[in-house]
Structure formats: C-alpha cells, structure tokens
Structure 1
C-alpha cells in the first residue's frame, strides 16, 4: 500500500504553498503524512519573518524514517526539504519536487543575493527528482530555459467555503481588492497610488504594512480574512488587482475569479496563465486602464467558467500520477 509523505518548509503560514499542501492533505484519499517546521524547533529570518526555518533537520530526518514512506513529495527547498531529499537518496525512495516560489528573484529584491547562486542551488536540488511540479505553463517554460529537467504543470483549486453565496449592489466608486502578502516583492505601491481614483482594499499582512498605512491613508487595510469572511470580502468588490511581477501563479486570483471578480494585472508569469484577456480580465503595463476595462466584464460569466476549470481533486490527481506511477 502507498504511504505518501509531503515534506514542506511552509505549512502553517498564509500563502499559496501552505494552502496547496493543506488542501492536498484534506482531500487526498490516499494515506498521506506531512512534516513541516511547526513539528520541530524553528526560527524566522529578518528579510522574510513569516517563514519558519527548521532548526532540527536531523530530527526531521528521523521523523521521516519513523513514518517510513513509500513515496515522498518535497514541497520546498529549505531544511525540511533538504532532509527529505537526503533521505530519498540514501534509501532509494522515489520522489517528486514542487517549485512554488521565485525565491531567486525574491532574494535578489530583498537581499541582493545574485540570481546565478540561487538558481544553481535550485537546479541541483530539483533535477534528480522524478518530476518538478510547477503551477503554470509559463513557469515551466522559464525553468526549461534555465536548464531544469522534466518539469510538469500542476494545477490548483478553490475550496467551496471561499465562494460567497451573497449578492452585492454595484458601488458608485469602483471597489478594487488585493489579497496576499503585504511586502516589497508584491509591488503594492503601484496599486495604492490609485487611492484617489478607486476605493482600494488590501487583505493580508506583512513587513510593508505599516509603511503603506502611513503613506496611503485612503486605502482600506483589513489584515487577514479567512473562509467565508474572505469569500464575502472578495464578492463585495468589483475588480481584483494583482500587481506582483514575481509570482509563479497566485491562488488568490482563482479564488477571486470564482467569486466573479475580473483580474487586472501585468502580463507576467501567473496572471498570464490564469487570465483570459477580455473574458476574465485584462493584462498590460497600465494597471489603471486594466482596472477600468475589467469593470465592463460580466461577473456571472466569469464565476461559472472558472469553477469548472480549477479543483483540488484535479491537483491531487496530477501529483499522484507523477509520484506513484
């Protein structure tokens, strides 16, 4: 019988990686275990305080040995991921890896660590796995160009509790929402600068929150929202704006689409894999123009199409097809 282990350095946080693995655990019908930093002693790092860094990789290795999995999916490239990779190599356990985040670009933006160093490490980390699973076609193409092997697209889903059943009247001033980490790499100042033209709401927290609050007093900063409260917050707005240029996907975008919100974003990896230009949103260099064009789109049509396209069962099926076959 298959005994699957997911090894991830992100599980307790509010981000796309944690959302993915929590939902796989929730909906998988196969025996699945997870190890993550919250099970051990951990610390944070100043440049990315939300991240948990496991301080006991040897204990993590021993925990994997106790579980004795037949197959391992390594979700991240930190200490937990490294412990799992060493275990797989020493014990000849088949494994896949997940590539979720453009950490080389993040680390360059946050700490000026050269891209060549981080990408060289990632290639060594990933290239011996059965499959490198990435969330989008354009991400796959980028990694192929950089010399990564056997890269496959791995879809995502939207939980039912994140789809609101409420209806809201159209507002006089267009209401624009962003959901996600409030940090430098998310490029949020470009959105906040439109505070005099739209009613802007930011859902989430992060190291840039206090600075943005002081600089943009007209923007509504709501902190974290979860479950039905988050779904209702999506639904009560007119357009979802995703100004980031460094994401590999953006689960929040498909959550917004499932609530009928069109997407205004740049034409970069993530948005261009999700948005159907002129149907579910607009992409381009001018966010204000994209938002104004989005206001003319049919919300009911957006919601009905997107709910058929993304599911956690499909996500799990793809994972199992690469990991177990």
Structure 2
C-alpha cells in the first residue's frame, strides 16, 4: 500500500484526526455541460466549500473517454479503469471522499474506498428505479436492491428531504442523513426585467424534458394564458409536435433563466419522481408561487402552504397558487441558502469520520 493510501486510511481513525480545513473529493458522473439539479448542487457545494477555505477536488467525466447513455445521448458516461481512479484519488490524498452518483465513476470510487478501508459518504439524487422502469420493463425492486447495496456500504447516505429519508429507510437503506438544498436569492429575484411578452397568466415549467418529468400533465391543463417550458431533453421534439400552442424555449441558465422566472406568473412542477427539485426554490426566490403534486420535494418544501399549493388535481393546485402573493413565495425561498447546505454537508462529513473512528477504536 502506498504512503498516500496509508495517509488516507489514517484519516478515518476519528473526527479529531480531521483538520479544520479539509480536502474533499467529490465524485460525480453528472457534470457540465449537463444542466440538472445534481450538477447545480455539486457545483454550488464546491464553490461554497472553497469560499470557506476548504480544498475541493472534482472527479468527473472530464478527462476520460465517454460514451452516450442509452436513450439519453446528452448524458456521457466515463470509460475509466480502477487504476485510473486509484491514481486520481492517491494524487489528491483527500481527507474525505463523497460519492454523489451511482454511475461508472461512482462505482469505481466506491470500489477503491472499500478495497482500501477508506470511509466515504454517498448521496441519493435520482430515482433511477422509476426512471429505468419508465423506459424498460425492469422491476423497480431489482434496481432498489442494487442501490441499497451501493449506498449502505458508505458511512452515510445524504438525501434532500425528510420524506425521501423516510422512504429510503423503509426500503432498507441505512444511516440516511438529511442534506437540504439552497438557492441564490441574489440572482433569482422578483425585480428582474420582464422578457416574456405573452398572454397572461404565464405558466412556467423548468427542467429536463424527459418522460419522467410528466410534462403532459402541465401542458394539458385547461387554464387561460400561456404555457412556457424551459429545458432540453429527449422528449423535446415529440412534445413540441403534440403541444403546438405551448412555448418551448430550450435550455436556459444564469441571468437569462432568472429573467424568465421573474417574467412568469406561476410555476408548475408536474414531476412525481424528483427527489427535491431545485427549480422549486429558484421559482420561489423569483416571486413565483408554485403548483405541484403532494409528493417528495414539493411536499417537503410547500407542505406548510406558504408559497405554493399542492393537490392531486394539478389544475386545482394551479388555480389556488395563482392567488398566492408573490411576496409569500419569496419569503419561503429566503429560508434556504447554499451556505447552509455546505455547512450541513461538512457536519455530515465530520460525523461520518467520528463514527468510523469510534468503531475502529472499539476493535483495538
């Protein structure tokens, strides 16, 4: 075992072994140029950790040969070897490794950690069992069994909402920890310049345009005004043909996206399968009330009724949400920050090392 690996293993002997300033490796198969909640979360987490003085190494598909994900060519999967991953981790010599995705890079990093007895945490961002089942006749129980084995090997599985934590615990996931999300309330705010000149009310939906997002439930609502979809994905061409009266703007980011949010009157979130939905917070910060189903994500953010309306009848939720003051939506968003998200992540990192240290010392 190399000196670097010995040092890495030593860092698992207890929380007191961790320095005040940490070197953290984030392992993710989802990264730029992808536009999704996983990329946004990890990007902002890395920025916040660096701003707080920590060092962050990103192990992403960048620098590896890649192949397109079947049925979703915009997502590229890295063709990496165990030796390549080991070299990258050894060179970084991180204090902690966080495996954010269950793809090839995540699997190889997990394998490295288990082989070298290195503590690591994981996070659960995506409902792969439901997404896979929507495309192929694969029982969800099979995929959940694999995911349970993947995540339970770590020192903690980080999830975005209490309802998801409860669900995964019921499914046999162990050591599930709550790790909420944040929003940039300076970029996403109500007073931006209007850019949508359409009949009102303007109903907006933002996200990946794919079957699991349930966009027809939004596009078929019998409501006056205009329906606008922001996002790209494999279902875009088909939905454009099926719903010619809707406005499809494609992918938008940053200031341009913020202007679109602020120009709308209502945000509609038709997904039933998201584990959170960062776009919910972006909409709320922009002063947009939200209409959604009472499922994981919307239920956790809007269950108290402030800033949005939930109903199994999405049209009913939309009509109720249109009556909610924009100030209430903004107020809800102000309780979320990326700084708090990063601090909570660090707390879980230190807790994980403290627990593994206690376990190892008990064996001495």
SS in 1 for 2:106: helix
Question: 1:72-125 CA distances to partner (integer Å, 9 max, x unpaired)?
Answer: 010011111111111211222221100001111100111222112111111111
Instruction: Note the residue ranges of structure 2 that are not aligned, 5 or more in a row.
Output: 1-18, 352-364
Q: 2:176 aligns with which of 132, 151, 167?
A: 151
Question: 1:259-297 CA distances to partner (integer Å, 9 max, x unpaired)?
Answer: 111111111111101114542111111111111111111
Counterpart in 2 of 1:5? 25
1:59-70 correspondence to structure 2 within 5 Å = 59-70=84-95
TM-score, normalising length: structure 2: 0.85
Q: Does the 8 Å CA contact 2:24/2:55 hold for their aligned counterparts?
A: yes
SS in 1 for 2:205: strand
Counterpart in 2 of 1:297? 324
Question: 1:127-185 CA distances to partner (integer Å, 9 max, x unpaired)?
Answer: 12111100111100100100100111111111232335326699863110000000111
SS in 2 for 1:38: coil
Matched, 1:22 2:43: yes
Q: Does the 8 Å CA contact 2:28/2:106 hold for their aligned counterparts?
A: yes
Provide the rounded CA distance (Å) in 2 between the counterparts of 1:319 and 1:249: 16
Q: 1:40 aligns with which of 38, 46, 64?
A: 64
Q: 1:240 aligns with which of 267, 275, 278?
A: 267
SS in 1 for 2:244: coil
Q: Does the 8 Å CA contact 2:26/2:97 hold for their aligned counterparts?
A: yes
Q: Does the 8 Å CA contact 2:289/2:308 hold for their aligned counterparts?
A: yes
Provide the rounded CA distance (Å) in 2 between the counterparts of 1:110 and 1:196: 30
SS in 2 for 1:49: strand
SS in 2 for 1:213: helix
Counterpart in 1 of 2:81? 57
Name which structure has the greater RCO, CA cutoff 8 Å, separation 6+: 2
- Once structures 1 and 2 are overlaid, which stretch shifts more, 169-178 or 41-50? 169-178
- Once structures 1 and 2 are overlaid, which stretch shifts more, 76-85 or 169-178? 169-178
Matched, 1:111 2:136: yes
Q: 2:245 aligns with which of 196, 218, 222?
A: 218
Counterpart in 2 of 1:253? 280
Provide the rounded CA distance (Å) in 2 between the counterparts of 1:275 and 1:152: 21
Q: What is the Cα deviation at residue 198 of structure 1?
A: 3.1
Provide the rounded CA distance (Å) in 1 between the counterparts of 2:302 and 2:319: 16
* 1:24/1:324 CA distance change after superposition, 3 Å: same
Q: Does the 8 Å CA contact 2:24/2:98 hold for their aligned counterparts?
A: yes
Provide the rounded CA distance (Å) in 2 between the counterparts of 1:296 and 1:196: 14
TM-score, normalising length: structure 1: 0.95
Q: Does the 8 Å CA contact 1:47/1:111 hold for their aligned counterparts?
A: no
Aligned residues: 324
Q: CA RMSD in A?
A: 1.8
Q: Does the 8 Å CA contact 1:164/1:228 hold for their aligned counterparts?
A: no
SS in 2 for 1:162: coil
Matched, 1:320 2:346: yes
Q: Does the 8 Å CA contact 1:70/1:94 hold for their aligned counterparts?
A: no
1:162-311 correspondence to structure 2 within 5 Å = 162-166=188-192, 173-194=200-221, 197-307=224-334, 309-311=335-337
Provide the rounded CA distance (Å) in 2 between the counterparts of 1:158 and 1:83: 31
Q: What is the Cα deviation at residue 70 of structure 1?
A: 1.9
